[in-house]
């Protein structure tokens, strides 16, 4: 791993530091990424998350580097605690208690704070400051705001008044100096590191924290920002005003080395390269080639997801090399398919007429496409949004979509213009999460706008479209797309949340509620929470059955299996799974395959792994429906006991087959690892 090698402190500096920090034995750095409040004032937290935070990984690597180089003071102990409130239950009193250890100094760093997380961050800061702890806040909210307004706005002034230190911009070149100021008790109210942006070729690569990863559904997951910045100028985006329009890149050899170490130490085989636009990372070729070399020289093959722009497919060799390096999915900033909207948002690089070519080019390389789509641009209407979603599904045929409500995010030109021209925008920053309307729309009421947004999710992730997507998917893409559909639909429809801010199984701590909301007594809390959880579990059972049906209708069958099924369909029509032995033998013969003996076919019916000819559970569903009705109306003689036993066995085989198949394929990999016996 590349490590910072800037200015080792001189002996003189070390001596001075030792004198000034006498009595301090250790520094405890708490890296805390705040979550946000939901609409009922509860903290958004999940039992298992989906995406670990790259900002935490970044600051963890920087702190470990400072610690390893012993630059603060030769004999100083430095400990780091990593907390992500999206998946960790915070114990604020415990952090405060531990900060009182004699000889230790604690600093709480509120990390990667976005606008929607700012109110929660302020509440946390207030609690820590009240106990006298040093608190520093950084991330896109403060950086974006100061980048465009230069002076602290009232929300930033509020934390300054609490005695919190505000840091804007990137800290790769500044982290050790900041920690030194902490140690010396000389923290300033505000550090502005927006200009110049740091060189990324030498700082440490974001570092995986194994214990943190245990909080995530998929624990072989790593993140790296291989570069920062974007040359474009979309008006809703804050990135360009914080990280700049000039691209800065990490060193490809250091990235490959980090991937190698992560693989050996933590078994990381899947990455999210968080660059906003990997296609504009000038070292993309070197990075891909370094990853490909890892495969050949060290036997380390990874898979990854990256974000690209719509013009990416025109870059010579980009897609081919991405495929070779292990890219399985691209996230594309499509935003709209209405050219007037794209022009209005200054997203001139997007040409809706070109979207087909773009999607086809990525598909041709067996890479699935996920588009970001913004709802609520000035030329959108309730009706046009519904039409556009249909086009996205049926015409452009993307594999996945993330919908966002247009939000004037501080740091974006949209926000600046709204403030300067006096356009009313919401004052509650907690709502700036892209799934709340935060301003008025010229053609829709806020309710209509939100409804159009919700309908977009419902429509894209309905059974029919998910089936079409999976039917189109190649075997390499199939399970990756399937897993993403599970994540997205469970988040957006079951949890009513944005998939990018969600995980699995929502937790709601009774007592940690937003100020101004009452804390329920235990009993009244349980009175609504228990039915809520039961309702959620019930919704999951329905969802799992839907997924099973999806799998049955779309799973990639072997050529042999497919031929038998087609032949059988031509003999029987509809339901295939209760075919007679003679019909089966005829199907094998028609498929020009060796005809199995009666005994073999009979035995295959007893094999638990054989789901063979079940192509839908619709008939089973109807059977159980009728049986239930007979039971309910007391027509017991109409119940066919032998069929019940048969269908029960089919259900067991089906659920086992699906569960095993799904579990095996949770690991990244190109093919269906579950061999289904006929
Ligand atoms: C990756 C990413 C995600 C991932 C996060 C998971 C992951 N694997 O990291 C996913 C896809 C889940 C995601 C989701 C969302 N994201 Co996002 N995301 C990003 C992205 C592209 C990269 C983040 C990153 O790794 N940056 C590199 C790190 C190192 O940079 P950094 O976070 O700025 O940190 C540096 C400095 O800010 C500073 N710093 C940060 N914290 C601290 C703390 C202290 C104490 C100090 C001293 C310094 C400091 O030092 C760091 C190193 O230099 C950024 C854009 C960007 N280029 O950063 C958007 C971005 C952060 N996301 C944004 C948004 C809006 C969201 C969503 C709300 C959108 C949505 N509805 O889904 C959700 C919210 C999810 C959540 N709960 O966090 C906005 C935030 C804008 C804002 N002002 O709020 C950004 C800026 C993109 C944009 N549109 O403008 N995101
Ligand atoms: S292309 Fe993406 S990262 Fe670049 S300015 Fe536009 S929205 Fe921001």
Per-residue confidence (pLDDT) for residue 612, from 0 to 100: 63
| Protein residue with its CA nearest to atom 27 in ligand 1 | 55
Rounded to a whole number of angstroms, the distance between the first and last alpha carbons of the chain is 49
CB 275 within 8 A of CB 306: yes
Q: Is 63 in the pocket of ligand 1 (CB under 6 A)?
A: no
H or E element, residue 303: strand 303-308
Per-residue confidence (pLDDT) for residue 9, from 0 to 100: 64
Nearest to 394 by CA among 449, 450, 356: 356
Ligand nearest to the CA of 348: 2
Taking residue 266's Cβ as centre, other Cβ atoms within 10 Å add up to: 16
Distance CA 499, CA 484 (A): 10
Atom of ligand 2 nearest to the CA of 236: 7
Distance CA 135, CA 182 (A): 9
Per-residue confidence (pLDDT) for residue 167, from 0 to 100: 98
Q: Is 171 in the pocket of ligand 1 (CB under 6 A)?
A: yes
Structure tokens at 154: 């009232």
CB 296 within 8 A of CB 290: no
Q: What is the mean pLDDT of each run of 10 residues along the chain (678 residues)?
A: 49 79 93 98 96 96 96 95 97 96 97 98 98 98 98 98 98 97 97 97 93 92 96 96 96 97 94 97 98 97 96 97 97 96 94 94 97 98 98 97 98 98 97 97 97 97 98 93 93 88 92 96 97 96 95 88 87 78 90 90 77 81 94 91 90 88 67 42
- Ligand 1: distance of its center to the CA of 117 in Å? 11
CB 92 within 8 A of CB 59: no
- Ligand 1: distance of its center to the CA of 274 in Å? 9
Distance CA 82, CA 508 (A): 21
Ligand 2 neighbours (beta carbon < 6 A): 230, 232-234, 237, 239-240, 276-277, 309, 333
Single pTM value for the model:
0.93
Nearest to 515 by CA among 437, 428, 432: 428
Strand ranges, E, within 400-481: 400-405
Query: What are 465's strand-pairing partners?
Result: none
């Amino acid at each position: 791993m590349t490590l910072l090698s800037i200015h080792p402190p001189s002996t003189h500096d070390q001596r001075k530091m030792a004198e000034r920090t006498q009595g301090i034995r250790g520094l405890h750095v708490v890296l805390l990424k705040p979550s946000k409040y939901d609409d009922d004032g509860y903290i958004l937290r999940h039992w298992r998350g989906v995406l670990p935070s790259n900002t935490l990984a970044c600051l963890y690597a920087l702190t470990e580097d400072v610690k390893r180089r012993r630059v603060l003071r030769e004999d100083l102990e430095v400990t780091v605690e990593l907390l992500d409130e999206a998946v960790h239950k915070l114990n604020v009193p415990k952090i405060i208690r531990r900060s009182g250890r004699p000889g230790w100094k604690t600093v709480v760093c509120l990390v990667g704070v976005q606008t929607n997380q700012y109110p929660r961050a302020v509440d946390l800061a207030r609690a820590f400051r009240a106990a006298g702890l040093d608190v520093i806040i950084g991330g896109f909210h403060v950086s974006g705001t100061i980048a465009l307004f230069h002076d602290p706005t009232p929300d930033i002034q509020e934390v300054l008044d609490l005695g919190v230190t505000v840091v804007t911009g990137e800290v790769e070149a500044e982290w050790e100096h900041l920690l030194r100021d902490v140690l010396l008790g000389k923290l300033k109210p505000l550090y502005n590191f927006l200009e110049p942006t740091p060189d990324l070729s030498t700082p440490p690569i974001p570092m995986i924290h194994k214990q943190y990863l245990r909080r995530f559904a998929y624990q072989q997951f790593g993140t790296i920002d291989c570069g920062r910045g974007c040359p474009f100028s979309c008006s809703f985006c804050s990135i360009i005003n914080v990280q700049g329009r000039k691209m800065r890149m990490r060193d490809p050899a250091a990235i490959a080395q980090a991937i190698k170490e992560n693989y050996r130490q933590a078994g990381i085989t899947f990455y999210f390269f968080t660059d906003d636009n990997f296609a504009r990372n000038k070292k993309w070729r070197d990075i891909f080639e370094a990853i490909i070399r890892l495969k050949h020289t060290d036997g380390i093959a990874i898979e990854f997801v990256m974000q690209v722009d719509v013009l990416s497919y025109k870059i010579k060799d980009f897609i081919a090399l991405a495929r070779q390096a292990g890219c399985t999915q691209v996230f594309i900033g499509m935003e709209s398919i209405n050219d007037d909207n794209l022009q209005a948002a200054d997203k001139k690089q997007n040409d809706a007429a070109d979207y087909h070519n773009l999607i086809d080019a990525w598909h041709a390389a067996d890479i699935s496409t996920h588009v970001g789509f913004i709802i609520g641009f000035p030329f959108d209407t309730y009706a046009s949004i519904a039409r556009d979603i249909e086009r996205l599904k049926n015409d452009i045929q993307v594999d996945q979509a993330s919908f966002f409500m247009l939000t004037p995010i501080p740091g974006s030109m949209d926000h600046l213009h709204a403030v300067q021209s006096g356009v009313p925008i919401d004052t509650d920053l907690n709502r700036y999460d892209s799934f709340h309307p935060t301003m008025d729309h010229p053609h829709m009421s806020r309710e209509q706008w939100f409804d159009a947004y919700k309908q977009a999710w419902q429509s894209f992730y309905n059974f029919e479209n998910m089936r079409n997507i999976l039917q189109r998917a190649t075997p390499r893409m199939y399970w990756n797309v399937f897993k993403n559909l599970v994540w997205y639909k469970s988040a957006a429809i079951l949890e009513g949340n944005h998939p990018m801010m969600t995980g699995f199984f929502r937790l709601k701590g009774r007592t940690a509620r937003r100020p101004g909301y009452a804390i329920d007594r235990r009993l009244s809390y349980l009175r609504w929470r228990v039915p809520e959880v039961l309702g959620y579990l019930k919704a999951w059972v329905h969802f799992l059955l839907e997924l099973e049906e999806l799998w049955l209708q779309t799973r990639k069958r072997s050529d042999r299996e497919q031929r038998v099924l087609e032949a059988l369909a031509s003999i029987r029509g509809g339901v295939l799974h209760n075919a007679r032995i003679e019909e089966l033998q005829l199907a094998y013969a028609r498929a020009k395959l060796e005809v199995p003996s009666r005994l073999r076919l009979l035995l295959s019916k007893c094999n638990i792994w054989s789901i063979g000819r079940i192509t839908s559970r619709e008939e089973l569903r109807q059977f159980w429906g009728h049986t239930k009705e007979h039971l309910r109306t007391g027509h017991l003689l109409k119940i066919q006991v032998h069929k019940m036993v048969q269908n029960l066995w089919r259900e067991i085989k089906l659920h086992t087959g699906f569960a095993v198949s799904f579990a095996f394929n949770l690991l990244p990999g190109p093919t269906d690892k579950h061999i289904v016996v006929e």
